[in-house]
Chains A and B, each alone.
Chain A
Amino acid sequence: MVSPEPAVDTVIGPKPRVEIRHVFWIWLALTVLLVLFSLWVPARLMGPPASPTMHAVESTMTVFSVAASPVAAIVWAIAIYSLLRWRSKGEPDRDGPPLRGNGPVTATWALLSTALCLVLLVWGLAEMTSVTSAAEASNPLVVNVTGQQWTWTFDYPGQGNVESDQLYLPLNRPVVFHVTSKDVIHSFWVVQMGIKVDANPGQTTKTSVTPDKLGTFDVRCAELCGLRHADMETSAHVVSTADFSSWLTQNGGHS
């Protein structure tokens, strides 16, 4: 039994204020690091966006990461500080102060997390409205997407039923995809455009996007669909309007 220290622990005096200040600095440092991480890493890993939708998704990832940074930082700051300051070598020889709760702290914590949640919810709802705008455009290109074990096929009903096993899209024109499946559930995913909707047998689901970048992108199946699920991939080519017209013509269609 170690001789008891002065009973500072039971006195709510200047000491906790010093500790709160220390925790604050650790929190601030962690927050800055996490904000920098949030600004640089998640969107970068997702790659350059090929549509306004993907652009919105990457902004969301960045904004949510930034918003979450102070939250993660406060948890980790207190945890780190508890190890630096309050750690006992071996079994503690005495108890800590009998703090059974702190109403104002609990209420503040609950209110702040609720408020943060509501902000994220409003952000999400606004974003949902903006990413569906392609579907509401006046003259969208309609593409029927058919998933089957283990290929994708596309046809363009307004363009003379041109069919293809690769997706061709004109730049900057809103596209609405009508997606269905011949057998099990697949999920139609154009990775760099940030859109995904399941291909269900017997149902037609819709998604829409406006490609805004020329290039070749990845169409993948995002729902386990059996033996060759991993290989159920094809390419999405975003081409100029003129190139798209000539591709349609070559394949027996019209623009």
Chain B
Amino acid sequence: MNGTANTSQGVLPHAFLNLDTYPDSAAGAHGADGGAHPDWVTYGPTSNLSVPAHSLVTITIKQYDSGGTITNPYFAKVHGTVDGTMTVDGKTVTEADPDSVGHTFTLHALPTNQDPLFVSVPLPAEADDAPTAPGSDYPAPHVVTFSFITGGKGEYIWNCEYPCGDGYYAKFGGPMSTQGYMSGNLNVT
């Protein structure tokens, strides 16, 4: 948590979160060797997020992975953020190119009747031939930043809606269907 912010709902506490999306598990939360599935794509550094209630939450995601055409263009657009926008490498946009999406960060509620919250942000893909950044195993990331306002306390889940579980039917198995990789929890506390 870091100070306060002026929002459409008045002055609210302001919290920040940083996440990364990697094409493999080597840099994620699964250990230096990538754990049981070193080749699985993953979010990092953790998949269990916690943010304060009735606050402005700003999430910054560094996106290192390549991608392709998303199956449902609805998720190439930004939904549920403040002003319906996000910034990609400093540029404010409302959607990504549906043919070049790497992942999405899509947040929704459990069925347990807490305050509704639906946020979905596409993360643009790295080009397939993007050069590896100096001193890193990955290309220089796309930096995506977006903000949303939380309601009361409750539990939410997030997952990726760009099918990226290669090798599985509909690319939705493996990391997509396993908590801790492309899916996790968000607790509003």
A and B in contact, CB less than 8 Å: yes
Number of residue pairs across A and B with beta carbons under 8 Å?
57
Interface residues of A, count at CB 8 A: 22
A183 touches which one: B106, B163, B178 (CB < 8 A)? B163
Which residues of B are found within 8 Å of A233, using beta-carbon distances?
A: 109, 111
A236 CA to B184 CA, complexed, in Å: 26
Tell me the nearest residue of chain B to A220, going by C-beta: B111
B-contacting 9-mer, from A13-21, A48-56, A129-137, A149-157: A149-157
A-contacting 9-mer, from B56-64, B71-79, B137-145: B71-79
Give, as a whole number of angstroms, the nearest-CB distance from B25 to chain A: 18
A182 touches which one: B170, B176, B177 (CB < 8 A)? B170
Could you mark each residue 95-125 of chain B with 1 if its beta carbon is under 8 Å from any beta carbon of chain A, else 0?
Answer: 0000000000010111100001010100000
B-contacting 9-mer, from A1-9, A25-33, A36-44, A222-230: A222-230
B183 at the interface (CB under 8 A from A): yes
Tell me the nearest residue of chain A to B73, going by C-beta: A163
Interface of B is mostly: mixed
- The answer to whether A227 and B118 touch (CB under 8 A), given A149-B172, A165-B74, A201-B170, is no
Give, as a whole number of angstroms, the nearest-CB distance from A228 to chain B: 6
Give, as a whole number of angstroms, the nearest-CB distance from A146 to chain B: 6
B179 at the interface (CB under 8 A from A): yes
Which residues of A are found within 8 Å of B21, using beta-carbon distances?
A: none
Question: Which residues from 139 to 177 on chain A have a C-beta closer than 8 Å to any C-beta of chain B?
Answer: 146, 148-151, 153, 155, 163, 165-166
A233 CA to B116 CA, complexed, in Å: 11
Interface of A is mostly: mixed
Tell me the nearest residue of chain B to A147, going by C-beta: B72
A231 at the interface (CB under 8 A from B): yes
B157 at the interface (CB under 8 A from A): yes
Which residues of A are found within 8 Å of B161, using beta-carbon distances?
A: 148, 151
Which residues of B are found within 8 Å of A231, using beta-carbon distances?
A: 108-111, 157
B159 at the interface (CB under 8 A from A): yes
> Is the Cβ of B179 less than 8 Å from the Cβ of A227?
yes
Give, as a whole number of angstroms, the nearest-CB distance from A202 to chain B: 11
A74 at the interface (CB under 8 A from B): no
A71 at the interface (CB under 8 A from B): no
A and B contact pairs by CB, cutoff 8 A, 20 listed = A148-B72, A149-B170, A150-B159, A151-B108, A153-B72, A165-B118, A165-B120, A166-B118, A182-B71, A183-B163, A201-B170, A226-B172, A227-B159, A227-B178, A227-B183, A228-B157, A230-B111, A231-B110, A231-B157, A233-B109
Interface residues of chain B, those whose CB is within 8 Å of chain A, are 71-72, 74, 79, 106, 108-111, 116, 118, 120, 157, 159, 161, 163, 169-170, 172, 176-179, 183
8 nearest interchain CB pairs? A183-B170, A153-B74, A227-B177, A182-B71, A149-B172, A233-B111, A183-B172, A163-B74
